Structure 1
Amino acid sequence: MEWLMAELVKNPRVMKKVQEEVRRVVGKKSKIDMEDINQMSYFKCVIKENLRLHPPVALLVPRETSTSVEMGGYHIPAKAQVFKRVSWNGIWASTEYVIANLLYWFDWKLPGGALGEDLDMSEAHGLTVSKKLPFHLLPTPYSP
């Protein structure tokens, strides 16, 4: 979510367009549901583009096999490094819900009058890639 919010603040035209879509689809309801999210095509595109630019870790920490083994028709020798792929399907659905709510209920800006175009998007590499410099956003409540 950090990368997505940083990208949206850095690109105010995209932030405005995605918020307009979220607010138009939800209307004056007090609660966003998954049916609403499924109608948000631009929102879904923004999420997918953010995942393309800043993918979450897709593999768990590698393991080493202690013995050779046959698996799925493949021979895996002893001492081989094996990576387990992570599935984000259930987690990502709830993340979309959180992001849609953040975009619906709040307008966002950087503190101190800072401009999004000046936001440092440097990366810090580790098990995941995070922003090198943390950033803070100021929410302003939105009333439908």
Structure 2
Amino acid sequence: WWRDLIEGNPHGDSQSHPVASALLETIERYRLPRPVLSDMIEARIFDLYDDPFEDRNALEGYAGETASALIQLASLVLSPEEAAASAEAAGHAGVAQAMAGMLLLMPLHRRRGQVYIPADMLSAAGLDRET
């Protein structure tokens, strides 16, 4: 539903949904790139399942599409003229933020049966998803 809304194919009256309405207004006002928001939704689908990331590159990609993208979008809102100059820093900051958040939320993820540590890193430590 959210992806369709962002891509311009809403189901029903999005104006009656206050969050959807505010999101669309913000996208227009700050000329935010819709594909970045769609990619963020796609990346967050991972959160619905219990599989670990295959490797560190997959984890960093997830962090880039979620936390880094959000920081870059905030940069576009704050200063569209200077946002490009902060793109690399936003990428690194987002990965760092995502890693810190995953460590912080590890007890919650454990209770839910979710594993955010990449499979190759688990294997290198002699562990698997279950352990």
Q: Which has the higher strand share?
A: 1
Q: TM-score, normalised by structure 1?
A: 0.30
Q: Which has the higher helix share?
A: 2
Rg comparison, structure with higher value: 1
